[in-house]
């Protein structure tokens, strides 16, 4: 049976425009989806928008627009961002769609049937910005001495009738889950934080609101709308046509991976498995929290005016340079800073020099000295075998890194081979062999073409557009671009197109 891989991004709030932080998680999920597709797995990749709740309702009011019209526009903007970043999603779910509303209500009913939901009254702190309830003991003081959420979000005292989910019943079950499946939650920092949060004791969770209307009605009690996080988390099942277990997509559950930002690890690693356990549904296999991006050393904020639209960066640097930078700059899971200087540096050193030049040098020698025809693979020297051996190991090496969501380490593995490729070409100096030993020159160039093919194949998930161009230049046809296809040598004698640079160097315009 073909292995299945179901990966999700968070569904983003439509209270503002998409920025580089949203693009980041989506790109990472996209790399994983593409990697699994190239591995021959059956992939379902879900993204979308989270469109209910008080925060979105207020944003619509501020804009002076009806909530539905407001969310339609912003959701379309998120979809455009995903398309511009080449996010290869299989489905884009919106929580205002009837298919989602139906599923979320079915999930609510299932949880309620188990006796895990009861009616009460909520009285306590709520942070609208986080759409999160906080206990008194969790609050901290801000610089002005006001009580705020640990995230810095302002809190307000809320008092209203509410349905509660018996989260307190799930403390031991959740701790047992984390213990039995250490791979359930990563990276280590997020895991440690969540375990300590759960160990401190879980209070029952308010899962409905009555003070506003922009949400999914609670089945059987329409005075209440579902707490936006109950509604939102259900998206991962509604996209699979829950509760229809005969639906073809149902086989994708349990999800292989929910990729999220560290800000929402708690909702995914505590509330979500608890809701699922109550409903008698398997929990996802893995939750991984990415770190946080700042911009030129500062938190992105509308008031600072430093919110970066990823599409602007793409216009300036090209899509793949941006995708590469985001995943290369910091070990995936850690925090990082987006600075123009480091983006330009990575582009010029690692893409233009290391990879671009290796490809360009090889292809122009083949064009010039071999009439642009792929030479034959013949007897290999030890050095040839060594570099080809390194390339052959890449798919399995990277698969291990992908399993741990170590996207940056996977790139580092490839760059080790690229550096080895540069050392190989310098040492073999095929340009000098033309006069002294043209047969050996052909052999060296053939090895280099095979090395480049391996590298370009495994880099496709990270830089789909430029690797497509590189593979075309290397004479690799569409059906020869999967990991399995690497087992078969390209036939000699193929004619290669005229070489063209793949990664231009970025030259910053001088300002006087
Ligand atoms: O939380 N650095 O939506 P949201 C890195 N609707 N990642 C960032 C980031 C940054 N500076 N800013 C945002 C929600 N992100 C809910 C999710 S899921 C059932 C519901 C990414 O629009 C990161 O993945 O606030 C974070 O978790 C997500 O965007 C939050 O998006």
Query: What letter does residue 42 receive in the DSSP assignment?
Result: E
What HEC string does 282-330 produce?
Answer: CCCCCEEEECCEEECCECCCCCCCCCCCHHHHHHHHCHHHHHHHHHHCC
> Are 262 and 365 found together in one domain?
no
Distance in Å, CA 12 to ligand 1 centroid: 6
| pLDDT tens for each residue of the chain, 512 residues long | 899 999 999 999 999 999 999 999 999 999 999 999 999 999 999 999 999 999 999 999 999 999 999 999 999 999 999 999 999 999 999 999 999 999 999 999 999 999 999 999 999 999 999 999 999 999 999 999 999 999 999 999 999 999 999 999 999 999 999 999 999 999 999 999 999 999 999 999 999 999 999 999 999 999 999 999 999 999 999 999 999 999 999 999 999 999 999 999 999 999 999 999 999 999 999 999 999 999 999 999 877 889 999 999 999 999 999 999 999 999 999 999 999 999 999 999 999 999 999 999 999 999 999 999 999 999 999 999 999 999 999 999 999 999 999 999 999 999 999 999 999 999 999 999 999 999 999 999 999 999 999 999 999 999 999 999 999 999 999 999 999 999 999 999 999 999 999 999 998 775 54
Distance in Å, CA 160 to ligand 1 centroid: 28
Ligand 1, CB cutoff 6 Å, lining residues: 10-13, 21-22, 24-25, 50, 232-233, 235, 260-261, 263-264, 290, 292-293, 300
> Are 158 and 278 found together in one domain?
yes
Indicate the pTM of the whole model: 0.97
Distance in Å, CA 131 to ligand 1 centroid: 12
> Are 268 and 393 found together in one domain?
no
**Phi/psi at 376 (5° precision):** -75, 150
| Number of domains comprising the chain | 2
Distance in Å, CA 343 to ligand 1 centroid: 22
For residue 121, the SS3 value is strand
* Domain termination residue (choose one: 291, 316, 331): 291
Distance in Å, CA 330 to ligand 1 centroid: 18
Distance in Å, CA 300 to ligand 1 centroid: 13
Distance in Å, CA 21 to ligand 1 centroid: 7
**Phi/psi at 288 (5° precision):** -130, 130
- The closest-lying atom of ligand 1 relative to the alpha carbon of residue 260 is 24
The CATH number given to whatever domain includes residue 107 is: 3.40.50.620
> Are 228 and 171 found together in one domain?
yes
For residue 245, the SS3 value is coil
For residue 511, the model assigns a pLDDT of 54
Residue 237: domain span = 4-291
- The closest-lying atom of ligand 1 relative to the alpha carbon of residue 259 is 24
Structural domain includes residue 323: no
Spatial distance between the Cα atoms of 57 and 60, rounded to a whole number of angstroms = 5
Ligand 1, pocket-test mutation among 23, 24, 47, most atoms within 8 A of CB: 24
Q: Indicate which residue's Cα is closest to atom 3 of ligand 1.
A: 12
Spatial distance between the Cα atoms of 118 and 501, rounded to a whole number of angstroms = 64
- The closest-lying atom of ligand 1 relative to the alpha carbon of residue 16 is 22
Structural domain includes residue 287: yes
Residue 337 has, within 13 A of its CA and on its CB side, a CA count of: 9
Count Cβ atoms below 10 Å from residue 364 Cβ, excluding itself.
14
Q: What angle do CA 81, 341, 31 make, to 5 degrees?
A: 40
Distance in Å, CA 260 to ligand 1 centroid: 7
Structural domain includes residue 496: no
Ligand 1, pocket-test mutation among 7, 55, 261, 268, most atoms within 8 A of CB: 261
Structural domain includes residue 224: yes
Structural domain includes residue 334: no
Ligand 1, pocket-test mutation among 79, 264, 295, most atoms within 8 A of CB: 264
> Are 118 and 26 found together in one domain?
yes
Structural domain includes residue 51: yes
Q: What share of the chain is helix, strand, coil (3-state, %, to 5)?
A: 50, 15, 30
> Are 81 and 218 found together in one domain?
yes
Strands 132-134, 117-127: parallel, antiparallel or unpaired by DSSP?
Answer: antiparallel
> Are 252 and 358 found together in one domain?
no
Distance in Å, CA 459 to ligand 1 centroid: 26
Q: Indicate which residue's Cα is closest to atom 8 of ligand 1.
A: 21
Distance in Å, CA 439 to ligand 1 centroid: 56
For residue 124, the model assigns a pLDDT of 92
Distance in Å, CA 455 to ligand 1 centroid: 32
Spatial distance between the Cα atoms of 76 and 65, rounded to a whole number of angstroms = 16
- The closest-lying atom of ligand 1 relative to the alpha carbon of residue 262 is 27
Token representation of residue 151: 């995230």
Distance in Å, CA 428 to ligand 1 centroid: 49
Structural domain includes residue 310: no
> Are 218 and 74 found together in one domain?
yes
Residue 168 has, within 13 A of its CA and on its CB side, a CA count of: 6
Ligand 1, pocket-test mutation among 96, 263, 309, most atoms within 8 A of CB: 263
For residue 304, the model assigns a pLDDT of 82
Q: Indicate which residue's Cα is closest to atom 21 of ligand 1.
A: 22
- The closest-lying atom of ligand 1 relative to the alpha carbon of residue 13 is 22
For residue 303, the model assigns a pLDDT of 77
> Are 226 and 108 found together in one domain?
yes
For residue 460, the model assigns a pLDDT of 98
Distance in Å, CA 504 to ligand 1 centroid: 32
* Domain termination residue (choose one: 258, 274, 291): 291
Q: Indicate which residue's Cα is closest to atom 24 of ligand 1.
A: 261
> Are 283 and 348 found together in one domain?
no
Strands 257-261, 4-13: parallel, antiparallel or unpaired by DSSP?
Answer: parallel
> Are 87 and 201 found together in one domain?
yes
> Are 358 and 416 found together in one domain?
yes
- The closest-lying atom of ligand 1 relative to the alpha carbon of residue 264 is 27
Of 291, 289, 290, the residue nearest 268 (C-alpha): 289
Structural domain includes residue 502: no
The CATH number given to whatever domain includes residue 363 is: 1.10.730.10
- The closest-lying atom of ligand 1 relative to the alpha carbon of residue 10 is 18
What is the longest distance spanned by two Cα atoms in the chain? 88
Q: Indicate which residue's Cα is closest to atom 13 of ligand 1.
A: 21
- The closest-lying atom of ligand 1 relative to the alpha carbon of residue 15 is 22
Distance in Å, CA 498 to ligand 1 centroid: 44
Token representation of residue 128: 């609208």
């Amino acid at each position: 049976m073909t292995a299945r891989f179901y990966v999700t991004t968070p569904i983003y709030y439509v209270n503002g425009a998409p920025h580089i932080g949203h693009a980041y998680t989506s790109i990472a999920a996209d790399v994983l989806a593409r990697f699994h597709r190239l591995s021959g797995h059956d992939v379902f990749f879900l993204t979308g928008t989270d469109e209910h709740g008080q925060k979105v309702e207020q944003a619509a009011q501020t804009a002076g627009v009806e909530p539905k019209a407001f969310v339609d526009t912003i959701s379309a903007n998120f979809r455009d961002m995903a398309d511009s970043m080449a996010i290869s999603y299989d489905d884009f779910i919106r929580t205002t769609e009837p298919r989602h509303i139906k599923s979320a209500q079915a999930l609510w009913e299932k949880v309620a049937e188990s006796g895990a939901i009861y009616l009460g009254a909520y009285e306590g702190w709520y942070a609208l910005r986080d759409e999160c309830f906080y206990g008194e003991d969790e609050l901290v003081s801000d610089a002005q001495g006001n009580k705020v959420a640990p995230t810095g979000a302002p809190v307000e005292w809320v008092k209203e009738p509410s349905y509660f989910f018996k989260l307190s019943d799930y403390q031991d079950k959740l701790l047992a889950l984390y213990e039995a499946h250490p791979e359930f939650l990563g990276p280590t920092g997020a895991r440690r934080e969540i375990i300590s949060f759960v160990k401190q004791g879980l209070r029952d969770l308010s899962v409905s609101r009555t003070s506003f209307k922009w949400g999914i009605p609670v089945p059987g009690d329409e005075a209440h709308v579902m707490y936006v996080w109950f509604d939102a988390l259900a998206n991962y099942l509604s996209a699979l046509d829950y509760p229809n277990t005969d639906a073809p997509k149902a086989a994708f559950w349990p999800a292989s991976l929910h990729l999220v930002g560290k800000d929402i690890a708690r909702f995914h690693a505590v509330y979500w498995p608890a809701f699922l356990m109550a409903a008698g549904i398997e929990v996802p296999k893995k939750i991984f929290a990415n770190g946080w991006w700042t911009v030129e050393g500062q938190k992105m904020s509308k008031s600072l005016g430093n919110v970066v639209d990823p599409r602007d960066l793409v216009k300036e640097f090209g899509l793949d340079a941006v995708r590469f930078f985001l995943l290369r700059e910091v070990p995936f899971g850690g925090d990082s800073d987006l600075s123009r200087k480091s983006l330009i540096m990575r582009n010029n050193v690692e893409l233009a020099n290391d990879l671009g030049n290796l490809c360009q040098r090889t292809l122009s020698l083949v064009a010039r000295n071999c009439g642009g025809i792929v030479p034959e693979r013949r007897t290999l020297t030890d050095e040839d075998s060594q570099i080809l051996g390194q390339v052959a190991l890449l798919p399995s090496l990277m698969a291990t890194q992908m399993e741990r969501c170590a996207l940056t380490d996977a790139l580092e593995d490839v760059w080790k081979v690229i550096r080895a490729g540069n050392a190989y070409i310098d040492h073999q100096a095929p340009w000098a062999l033309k006069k002294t030993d043209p047969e050996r020159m052909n052999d060296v160039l053939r090895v280099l073409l095979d090395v480049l093919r391996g590298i370009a194949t495994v880099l496709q998930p990270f830089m789909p557009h430029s690797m497509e161009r590189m593979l075309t230049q290397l004479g690799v046809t569409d059906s020869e671009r999967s990991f399995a296809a690497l087992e078969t040598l390209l036939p000699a004698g193929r004619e290669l197109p005229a070489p063209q640079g793949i990664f231009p160097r970025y030259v910053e315009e001088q300002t006087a």
